Amino acid sequence: MIDGDTSRVWLDGKEETVRYVAIEAPELAEPGGPEARQAHEKLLSSGQVWLECDPDAEGKPGRDGRKRLLAYAFADDAGQRCLNTELVRQGAAKVGARAVKDDTPADSFALKHLDELLAAQIEAAQSRAGWWGKGDPHSAADFIVCFIKFWGTDEVVWLLNRGAVAIDLALAWQLADQGERNSVTLGQRVPTGELQLPPGAVCRIHSGPGAKVTAVQRDAKEVDLQWKRARVWNNTEDRATLRDPQGKPVYVYAYRASGN
């Protein structure tokens, strides 16, 4: 094992370096890095893993620019315990889509387990596990940015209420991208005079030419609001800042979707 998202395995009689797909763990020198490695080591305690790889044009397992095998790793041969997902669930890693473009199919190798990974990330953020707790400078915030789907015609930002009381989305909460080139006031997108987001509920903010439009129901556990029908989020890297109704930054979420 190397760190929280990379391991070494013996495969076909030789040692291979495996980079887990669709997740990002902190480097060993970063806050949370040693803890992520420790969580990874514990998951590998059985000493044996099964790898799901994406064949390249020659039918060989796909690799990244550093010649590492790209894989989803499983702790059981039935494929029921995905290490990528477990690392996210424990807060040892976050969902991280690399080399994904606007036209990348939803069933592509890099995105095929996105739903379960995102569910695990929401669970980790809710409980302030790992990166979402001690390693997060905004760990005290109850209303947070949990994930950004930056690709496709329907971009989505997941906002999570992980506090103990409801949050009124009709107030002047503001969401902005890096440099605040684009910003939105949530209250201006709420079609009712009041919209309470209960504890544990998520609000999805949609942008892009295919931005989703849904009917808003009061006190729903899932709420979808439309920002605008134009793209907001960069496909290489970006940063979202959530501000409270008084204009104070309460959460910052950054992603990097390029490189290795």
pLDDT in the model for residue 259: 61
Instruction: List the structure tokens of 22.
Output: 């669709």
- pLDDT of 137 strictly over 90: yes
Give tens-digit pLDDT for 168-188: 999 999 999 999 999 999 999
112-128 residue pLDDT tens: 999 999 999 999 999 99
218 compared with 236, residue with greater pLDDT: 236
Residue 215 has pLDDT above 90, yes or no: no
On whether the pTM is more than 0.85, the answer is yes
Q: How many other CB atoms are there within 10 angstroms of residue 144's CB atom? A: 23
Whether domain 1-136 has CATH 3.40.309.10: the reply is no
Which residue is associated with the tokens 């902190």? Answer: 26
The helix/strand/coil state of 110 is coil
Q: What is the pLDDT of residues 62-107, one digit of tens each?
A: 999 899 999 999 988 777 889 999 999 999 999 998 889 999 999 9
Query: C-alpha distances in angstroms, 154 versus 119, 140, 148, 204, 212?
Result: 19, 30, 11, 11, 7
Strands 202-207 and 222-228: parallel
Q: CA dist 100 to 23, 52, 110, 152, 221, Å?
A: 13, 19, 8, 9, 29
Tens-place pLDDT, residues 153-171: 999 999 999 999 999 999 9
pLDDT (mean) for 13-30: 92
Judged against a pLDDT cut of 80, whether residue 20 lies above it is answered with yes
Average pLDDT, the chain: 92
Q: Sign of dihedral through CA atoms 31, 40, 253, 162? A: negative
pLDDT at position 32 is 87
The domain locations on the chain are: 1-136, 138-260
pLDDT of 1: 57
pLDDT tops 70 at residue 226: yes
pLDDT of 216 reads 76
Please give the Cα distance from 95 to 232 (Å, whole number).
Answer: 20
Check if CATH label 2.60.40.1260 holds for domain 138-260: yes
228 burial via Cβ count (<10 Å: 0-12, 13-18, 19+): middle
DSSP structure class, residue 116: H
| Cβ within 8 Å of residue 131, ≥6 positions away | 26, 32, 36, 91, 92, 93, 94, 124
Residue type, 140: A
